[in-house]
Structure 1
Amino acid sequence: MRKAPPVAHLLYRIGRASAMRPIVAILAWIVTLAVAAGGFLAFGGTLTDSFSIPGLETEKVTDQLTEEIPELAGGSSRAVFQTESGEPFTDEQKQQVSDALAAAAEQTGSVTGVIDPFATQQQLEEQTAQLEAAPQQIADGRAQLEEAQAQLDAGQAQIDAALPELEAAQEQLDAGQAQLDAEIQQAKDAGAYELAAAQFEAAQAEIDANQQMLDESLAELESSQAEIEAGQEQITAGLAELEAQEAQLATGAEVAEAAANIRSVSEDGTTALGLIQFDTNVYEVVQEDKDAVIADVRAATPEGLTVNFSADIATSVEGVMGAGEVIGVLLAFVVLMVMMRAIWPALMPIVTSVLGVGVGVATALAFSGVVEMSSVTPVLGVMLALAVGIDYSLFIVNRHRQQYTRGMDLHESIGLANGTSGNAVVFAGSTVIVALLALNITGIPFLGIMGTVGAFGVGIAVLVAVTLTPAVLGLIGHRVLGRKARETRGAAEHAEAPIEPMRTGFALLRFFGAVVALLIIAIPALSMRLGLPDGTQEPTDSTQYIAYKTVDEKFGEGVNGTLLVTAELPEAVADEELLAAQADVVTVLMENDDVSAVAPAGASEDNGFLAFQVIPKEGPGSESTVQLVEDLRELSPLEDGTVIGVAGEASGNIDVSQKLDEALPLYLAIVVGLSIIILVVVFRSLIVPLIATLGFVLSLFAAFGVVTAVFQWGWLGSLFGVHDPGPILSFLPIILTGVLFGLAMDYQLFLTTGMREAYVHGMDARRSVVAGLRHGRAVVTAAAIIMVSVFGGFVFSHIALIRPMGFGLAMGVLFDAFVVRMVIVPSLMHLVGEKAWWLPGWLDKILPNVDVEGSALEREHPVPHAEDEAEAAKA
């Protein structure tokens, strides 16, 4: 006979000691809660709404952008102003909007400035007007140059006409001078020069005067020619300048046309987009600063105007419990009341689990000052710890009630329940913890932190279950049973009835029916798309939802998914060549059919690194925008060697979603492998782990299917508050995988251990299946309903991020507990028969004895009527 494992003995002693000294254990946990709360108040930091992953393409581009163009490094949020009358803004209202934004600019700390929508729109319109007026200005300049050219041509024609006459006159003067010189020489030769000298001198003087007049005329012509040549040079330079301006204008017009759809004031003049700039990513700005900005802008916005804010500044996940969550807990209490038929045992699991949640979440938040923690992380911790805490406490309470009903001593029963069911709780909790901690293997920091905090919360829930639950059971004593049950305590009537195996035909029908049903439910999962919230998931009356829809209606849905595209040029360009370089990139970007508009956003000091604002045609969560990001990245490098990068909030969300999508198969493989190993050790079988694991995969994909159908396709959307279907929360599948795996193993343990125990005690394989079902069905049913109630309460959470998570977990538990564990697994094990418990001899020798159910401990501390039940089972 195998001895009970040391853990079972330890838990037995802990349970018995806690039951005998309940005040000590209860005070210890109260002190622990106080210390945890004090740690949170003293060391708790700020939570972040960011889901960034280091090393992604968006992060790399953002880092380069920060280095090259620092002014674009900070984040910005929108304030969407509208007139209540539906009429365009008046001049007074425009000034009021400017004043309201100025109130945000006065905030110290994170706010670095604001951008006035009307000043921005005016600049855009002035630039457009300049571009529209430029062609006429160039045409006027060309006409003036043409007129000047005509004048020059006329002057040149006059010069060209006068020059031959002057040349002819020069020839005549030269001939007259030659003739005079010849006559003078003849006179000198004849000795008659003195007689005619006066005549000769008069003739020479006349020739000299004519020569002087001719020289002056030639000088005038040369001066006119020089003037004409200078004028021609000016006209040529003017024409070259006009041609350069025309080229610059064509380039500017091309860039302006690409940016024509970008506006800060709607075309009807009723809506304006103000920008509030921060010194860092908006998701990293502390919520207090965000709230202060929103409060200041709203306070400064007068009557007649409304203002709403984008999701990045307005969405808050503060507060871990809302009305929906409270209703879920109340439903759990109702289930416990129906099952227990007594108020104290029904209330106790809820009270102990709430205390455990307080300790776990407060302790985790105490480390938020040194570890970057997502805002949704503590909510996930509450969700898990609350659900498993109630269930784990229930398992121990239920075991104690059964034993105490049969007549066992109070403290002995509590100790034994803690050593048997408590041992199973420790093992089941360990599987959940391991599955959650395995999220760190994905290499995604925020997901690893979420898994670690969740695992810590589950760990606290386990500790509370095996220490505080026995203490409270000891404190309430016989009130753990209702009055009627107390009166018949110890009677033989509480022994179980004989067992009959299920019919094979019935098992076949149940198996195939359940498998086909889950496969059909899982079909939508084939089209599941991942993404992050964009504001449309928020309540329709929330400021972020109104802001998103207003932008969508007035400016185009692509404005909500603006991308920041960078271009690293092969060589830096001069200032006069910058516009042409920008136009070249703009032309390439506008060739994509999914791009609505492109506008230059900035350039580095050396003009070697450029940034552009790119507006997609559809919203950030659309398939076309996801494809656009991929297409733009595939362009790099361009033919001239320009390297293209894509950043921005929409791009970052796409990168995160794709990274998580890639990590899911690896994580699923790890979880499935872990599942098989754990179950082989627990059940000492190869077939049972395979059946259990395949069942888990079925329930998981069925959960994916219903989540996709409701939140992506919009089926039954009105029932679950899904008014705008869209992509599934990017980290939801991987979270569901981890959590549902742990919970599936819980139910597998509490049902199948009973089957194995019956089989080991000599019952045939098929009857042992029914025995195990009878042993654990009631408590697993109650536990599953409680789990569904708690998770279901989060479906109507005030936090949009949590709703699909709560829905997926509730549906996953529903499918796994009621369809897989209670229908598929028992039916298939019945069909397999004795082979279900086959294990090679060599493997049986090396496997450790975990005895999850604590049957060895139970043999050391027998329950009244247990022997009678064993004999009845063999009959």
Structure 2
Amino acid sequence: MATMLYRLGVVVARRRWVVVGGWAAVLVAVAVSATLLAKPTTSAISIPGTESQRAIELLSKKFPGTGGASARIVVAAPPGHTLDEAEYTARAADALVALAKAPQVIAVTGFNEATLSADKQIAFADVQYAVPVSEVTQEAKDALQRLAGPARAAGLRVEFSGGVVSTTEAHGASSELYGVIIAYLVLALTLGGLVIAGMPLLNAGVGVGIGMLGIQVVTGFVELNSTAPALATMLGLAVGIDYALFIVARHRQQLRDGMQVEESIATASATAGSAVIFAGVTVIIALCGLAVAGIPFLTVMGLCAAATVAVTVVLAVTLTPAVLAVAGHRITASRIRTLNRRAEPKAHPFGARWARIVTARPWLTVVACLAVVGGMALPVLDLRLGLPSDGTKSTGTTERRAYDLLAKGFGPGFNAPLTLVLYGPGRTDMKAIGEQAAPLLRADPDVAVAVPAATNQAGDVVILSVIPKSGPDSQQTKDLVRRIRAAGEQARQQAGITAYVTGTTAVNNDVSDKLSAALAPFLVLIVVLALLLLLLVFRSILVPVKAVAGFLLSLGASLGAVTWVFQQGHAGGVFGVQAPAPILSFLPVLVIGILFGLAMDYEVFLVSRIKEAFTHHGDARRAIGDGMRDSARVVTAAGLIMAAVFTAFIFGGDVIIKAIGFSLAVGVAVDAFIVRMTLVPAVLHILGRGAWWLPRPLQRLLPNVDVEGATLVRPVVVIKKAPEPVSARGSARNGGS
């Protein structure tokens, strides 16, 4: 790999403008394609094969129109008034008549005694559409929103839920911008210059741009979840900056050591570039591994993020060297002397000093790290999974205000409606069956309302509306769904009637259950994958085991912290968490995949330098200080940058993105600074030479991928300003990784 990347670096350095122009053309082409093909994303989540999804498919076939979108209008009277006053009832009647004529609307019900709260302060109406939410036209949305104007002018509060009309807090790109600013400052301090600090940002910016525009192209052919672009942006920024940083930092060090520009670019591409490719492939494999869960929307999210990471990897080994070649020696100069001084080699660099501290009493270091990370992971024992309801959204959204009004006027269960579908093949009396089933449902202690809602024309399908007494995130509601389904299975066995429970709450429960079941197999896959990859890279038994154990510690700390804040409600105000709720059901799977890849990044960049030093002089404990002297500064900067980028997403408006950003920020910080920079050198010191032991049969069996570039044999390269050929041996002494 190193030889191939060395040759690529030579070609890129000599054809720098061709490479830069080629990437500019790719960016323009993808932008034009996105303009022509882009379609909206969706917030809907479904899993084929679940009971709730089978119910939706049955309704689409047997009861056309009932599987479409629905919107709920919630109205509250002004203080001192009630909604049964003549003025308000007249307005409600006129609004419903107008709304029934709106585009794509097939039914409007409500604003009557059945949908009026006991104190007559709050009422609601439901609007049924013939198409899913993603296909509701802007004209139909505008017709729904026009209802609010006159009503609000009369002093009424009007809010919407259901996803047809939605509002979010102003977010834009401001939080991402803060992360980029912090990253730039860290890069300037690490690399010692303002111009050179912009090069990793250029790599990340182009990568994210191509990735995001590519996702827009994909929406023209595949329905994408609205979280996919944000996840791709988050990862693209973080890894794009880090991958370019490793190559740029290596190149700058080599220039200061006296290497010529083109030779240095080729050497950096061969050494740091090899580690970048391995790290990137690890992240990509982990993200593609999300397909193991068998959940389409999660698979597509993983593939979109993996594609963005792949673009940033290719950019790192092509565009970054090309830009370095354009800049030449100018990247080693800075007009700010303080930055230059910070980047100069020191007699006792930070990495070497830190290595001495953590290995002076290695067992104490190990115990302290385990105590800190173990304490952070403790809340994970209380982890509950679910999907966010409107009750977790910001109070600045109309969905959250509608949620609060319904809970106040009718009880929390009105935000968790269930739909019971009864299907009797060949029967025509299902309406009567539904009327018999309603009182049986109402006998359940957690059912507030159960009434037949509609029967299809053939008479073989009846729909019952079931309102629980508990809210959508409640364990009681989940238990109610299980009891209804168990009773439905008895009905199927005794009378041949098929019963399905669906609705948003049931769908969310099914998604959570499927994801929970996929969690353990996915974690096992990731652990096995990590062991195999690291065995291949480091040609050691204990180093991969230590790396995987460190990853599990970081994962535990990440999930424990997100449970402590988002589920248990501690320090929620600091992070803008509106209300405690179960943890996003697909968050653990995402965090496992992403954090695994990022943890292996730091493992490779740090431990590969330690192994290189050990290979040179054979002293395992001395190699720890030598390797950390050369890599700790850059790994520290990379960890700070990645944590800053993820942290920036915490302060956006979307609760899903908040939770993902928070968990990844904590996971990366713990992994970079506690696990890799502290625990790893202490453990390696304890293991000594045994850390690099590999049985002889495996030595013969495993190929040597040479991530460190230790066996690199370079062809003779003619440098324009230095007519003598540069030997491979001399280059290896100056720039070997």
How far apart are residue 843 of structure 1 and its match? Answer: 0.8
For 1:406, which of 257, 266, 289 is the aligned residue? 257
The 5 Å alignment of 1:40-51 reads 40-51=34-45
Q: Helix, strand or coil for the counterpart of 1:636?
A: helix
Q: Which sits farther off after the overlay, 451-460 or 56-65?
A: 56-65
Equivalent-residue separation in structure 2 for 1:762 and 1:517 (angstroms): 35
Relative to 1, partners in 2 of residues 1:545 and 1:557: Cα closer, same or farther, differing over 3 Å? same
**Preserved contact between residue 565 and residue 612 of structure 1 (Cα < 8 Å):** yes
Deviations 1:244-281 (A, max 9, x none): xxxxxxxxxxxxxxxxxxx4122222222122211133
How far apart are residue 15 of structure 1 and its match? Answer: 2.7
Which residue pairs with 2:466 in the alignment? 614
**Preserved contact between residue 358 and residue 681 of structure 2 (Cα < 8 Å):** no
**Preserved contact between residue 189 and residue 342 of structure 2 (Cα < 8 Å):** no
How far apart are residue 87 of structure 1 and its match? Answer: 1.3
How far apart are residue 351 of structure 1 and its match? Answer: 2.2
The 5 Å alignment of 1:328-407 reads 328-407=179-258
2:512 partner letter = S
Equivalent-residue separation in structure 2 for 1:769 and 1:41 (angstroms): 52
How far apart are residue 359 of structure 1 and its match? Answer: 0.7
Is structure 2 residue 150 aligned with structure 1 residue 297? no
**Preserved contact between residue 540 and residue 694 of structure 2 (Cα < 8 Å):** yes
Q: Helix, strand or coil for the counterpart of 2:44?
A: coil
**Preserved contact between residue 100 and residue 296 of structure 1 (Cα < 8 Å):** no
Relative to 1, partners in 2 of residues 1:662 and 1:489: Cα closer, same or farther, differing over 3 Å? closer
How far apart are residue 513 of structure 1 and its match? Answer: 1.3
**Preserved contact between residue 407 and residue 489 of structure 1 (Cα < 8 Å):** no
Equivalent-residue separation in structure 2 for 1:319 and 1:349 (angstroms): 29
How far apart are residue 54 of structure 1 and its match? Answer: 0.5
Equivalent-residue separation in structure 2 for 1:763 and 1:315 (angstroms): 64
Which residue pairs with 1:80 in the alignment? 74
Equivalent-residue separation in structure 1 for 2:341 and 2:481 (angstroms): 71
Which residue pairs with 1:15 in the alignment? 9
2:36 partner letter = A
How far apart are residue 602 of structure 1 and its match? Answer: 2.0
Equivalent-residue separation in structure 2 for 1:689 and 1:591 (angstroms): 57
Relative to 1, partners in 2 of residues 1:290 and 1:309: Cα closer, same or farther, differing over 3 Å? farther
Which residue pairs with 2:476 in the alignment? 624
Q: Which sits farther off after the overlay, 417-426 or 478-487?
A: 478-487
Is structure 2 residue 430 aligned with structure 1 residue 590? no
Unaligned runs of 5+ in 1: 1-6, 122-262, 871-875
How far apart are residue 734 of structure 1 and its match? Answer: 0.5
Is structure 2 residue 79 aligned with structure 1 residue 93? no
Relative to 1, partners in 2 of residues 1:88 and 1:495: Cα closer, same or farther, differing over 3 Å? closer
1:298 partner letter = A
Which residue pairs with 1:736 in the alignment? 591
Relative to 1, partners in 2 of residues 1:346 and 1:561: Cα closer, same or farther, differing over 3 Å? same
2:158 partner letter = V
Relative to 1, partners in 2 of residues 1:637 and 1:359: Cα closer, same or farther, differing over 3 Å? closer
Unaligned runs of 5+ in 2: 715-726
**Preserved contact between residue 501 and residue 766 of structure 1 (Cα < 8 Å):** no
* Corresponding pairs, count: 716
Q: Helix, strand or coil for the counterpart of 2:466?
A: strand
**Preserved contact between residue 352 and residue 626 of structure 2 (Cα < 8 Å):** no
Q: Helix, strand or coil for the counterpart of 1:601?
A: strand
How far apart are residue 673 of structure 1 and its match? Answer: 0.5
How far apart are residue 858 of structure 1 and its match? Answer: 8.1
Equivalent-residue separation in structure 2 for 1:298 and 1:504 (angstroms): 67
How far apart are residue 491 of structure 1 and its match? Answer: 10
Q: Which sits farther off after the overlay, 840-849 or 734-743?
A: 840-849
1:370 partner letter = F
Equivalent-residue separation in structure 2 for 1:574 and 1:536 (angstroms): 39
Relative to 1, partners in 2 of residues 1:277 and 1:684: Cα closer, same or farther, differing over 3 Å? same
**Preserved contact between residue 406 and residue 491 of structure 1 (Cα < 8 Å):** no
Equivalent-residue separation in structure 2 for 1:537 and 1:836 (angstroms): 48
Relative to 1, partners in 2 of residues 1:694 and 1:14: Cα closer, same or farther, differing over 3 Å? same
Which residue pairs with 1:310 in the alignment? 161
How far apart are residue 312 of structure 1 and its match? Answer: 2.4
RMSD: 2.9
Equivalent-residue separation in structure 1 for 2:734 and 2:189 (angstroms): 30
**Preserved contact between residue 406 and residue 865 of structure 1 (Cα < 8 Å):** no
Equivalent-residue separation in structure 2 for 1:486 and 1:46 (angstroms): 45
Relative to 1, partners in 2 of residues 1:382 and 1:481: Cα closer, same or farther, differing over 3 Å? same
Equivalent-residue separation in structure 2 for 1:489 and 1:381 (angstroms): 33
1:66 partner letter = S
Which residue pairs with 2:388 in the alignment? 533
Given the two structures, how large is their TM-score scaled by the length of structure 2?
0.91
Deviations 1:839-866 (A, max 9, x none): 1111111211111122333886467894
Q: Helix, strand or coil for the counterpart of 1:856?
A: coil
1:816 partner letter = D
For 2:317, which of 466, 480, 501 is the aligned residue? 466
Q: Helix, strand or coil for the counterpart of 1:718?
A: coil
Relative to 1, partners in 2 of residues 1:559 and 1:762: Cα closer, same or farther, differing over 3 Å? same
For 2:684, which of 829, 832, 837 is the aligned residue? 829
Equivalent-residue separation in structure 2 for 1:85 and 1:64 (angstroms): 45
Q: Helix, strand or coil for the counterpart of 2:125?
A: strand
2:90 partner letter = Q
How far apart are residue 101 of structure 1 and its match? Answer: 4.6
How far apart are residue 799 of structure 1 and its match? Answer: 2.4
**Preserved contact between residue 571 and residue 608 of structure 1 (Cα < 8 Å):** yes
Relative to 1, partners in 2 of residues 1:315 and 1:616: Cα closer, same or farther, differing over 3 Å? same
How far apart are residue 487 of structure 1 and its match? Answer: 9.2
Relative to 1, partners in 2 of residues 1:829 and 1:546: Cα closer, same or farther, differing over 3 Å? same
**Preserved contact between residue 73 and residue 159 of structure 2 (Cα < 8 Å):** yes
Deviations 1:776-802 (A, max 9, x none): 111111001000000100001132221
**Preserved contact between residue 16 and residue 470 of structure 1 (Cα < 8 Å):** no
Q: Helix, strand or coil for the counterpart of 2:361?
A: helix
How far apart are residue 868 of structure 1 and its match? Answer: 12
Which residue pairs with 2:718 in the alignment? none
Which residue pairs with 2:53 in the alignment? 59
For 2:502, which of 624, 631, 647 is the aligned residue? 647
How far apart are residue 368 of structure 1 and its match? Answer: 1.1
Relative to 1, partners in 2 of residues 1:832 and 1:31: Cα closer, same or farther, differing over 3 Å? same
Is structure 2 residue 411 aligned with structure 1 residue 556? yes
Deviations 1:578-598 (A, max 9, x none): 55x334312332232222221
How far apart are residue 498 of structure 1 and its match? Answer: 8.6
1:509 partner letter = L
Equivalent-residue separation in structure 2 for 1:467 and 1:427 (angstroms): 16
Given the two structures, how large is their TM-score scaled by the length of structure 1?
0.77
Deviations 1:104-157 (A, max 9, x none): 44443x433433x33x43xxxxxxxxxxxxxxxxxxxxxxxxxxxxxxxxxxxx
Equivalent-residue separation in structure 2 for 1:868 and 1:322 (angstroms): 39
Equivalent-residue separation in structure 2 for 1:854 and 1:832 (angstroms): 25
Q: Helix, strand or coil for the counterpart of 2:115?
A: coil
Equivalent-residue separation in structure 2 for 1:492 and 1:52 (angstroms): 55
Is structure 2 residue 613 aligned with structure 1 residue 758? yes
Equivalent-residue separation in structure 2 for 1:673 and 1:663 (angstroms): 16
**Preserved contact between residue 308 and residue 547 of structure 1 (Cα < 8 Å):** yes
Q: Helix, strand or coil for the counterpart of 2:574?
A: helix
Identity of aligned residues (%): 38
Relative to 1, partners in 2 of residues 1:104 and 1:789: Cα closer, same or farther, differing over 3 Å? farther
**Preserved contact between residue 567 and residue 585 of structure 1 (Cα < 8 Å):** no
Which residue pairs with 1:839 in the alignment? 694
Which residue pairs with 1:435 in the alignment? 286
For 2:26, which of 19, 28, 32 is the aligned residue? 32
Equivalent-residue separation in structure 1 for 2:730 and 2:137 (angstroms): 57
Equivalent-residue separation in structure 2 for 1:790 and 1:498 (angstroms): 27
Which residue pairs with 1:452 in the alignment? 303
How far apart are residue 70 of structure 1 and its match? Answer: 3.4
The 5 Å alignment of 1:134-153 reads none
2:135 partner letter = V
